[in-house]
């Protein structure tokens, strides 16, 4: 049973995705996510077909290993187990990127009203 774990491959994955987004989407991760979101018409999510295309465009794996990559990425990123990757799930793999953090992260207490 061959199963891909993202442990060792996470750095390769994030590096290649960042490079793809830089070259194809002017470094705008949201624009990149939205592009792949439209491929298989999931509801604001990237499904396995679109993820396979994203990985191919990012030159992650090859035609023999890409299915394993898709399964491994889905297993790690699809936190709610709905078979697709949401923006927040996608951004989590790029969490050390300042642009992504600014767009998705909230400071503790952002949802709390100030005490008076």
Confidence of residue 51 (pLDDT cuts 50, 70, 90): very high
Bridge partners, residue 45, by sequence:
86
Query: What angle separates helix 29-37 from helix 48-57, to the nearest 10 degrees?
Result: 130
Higher pLDDT, 113 or 96: 96
- Which pLDDT value is given to residue 34? 94
- Interval 8-26 mean pLDDT: 89
Cα(72)–Cα(89) distance, integer angstroms? 14
| Percentage above 70 pLDDT, the chain | 73
pLDDT in tens, 76-90: 899 999 999 999 999
pLDDT at 16 over 70: yes
């Amino acid at each position: 049973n061959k199963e891909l774990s993202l442990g060792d491959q996470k750095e390769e994955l994030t590096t290649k995705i960042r490079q793809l987004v830089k070259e194809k989407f002017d470094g705008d991760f949201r624009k990149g996510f939205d592009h792949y979101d439209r491929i298989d018409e999931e509801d604001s999510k990237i499904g396995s077909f679109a993820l396979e295309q994203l990985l191919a465009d990012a030159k992650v794996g090859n035609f023999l290993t890409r299915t394993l990559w898709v399964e491994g990425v889905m297993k790690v990123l699809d936190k709610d187990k709905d078979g697709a990757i949401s923006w927040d799930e996608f951004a989590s793999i790029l969490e050390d990127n300042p642009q992504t953090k600014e767009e998705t992260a909230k400071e503790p207490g952002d949802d709390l009203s100030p005490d008076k």
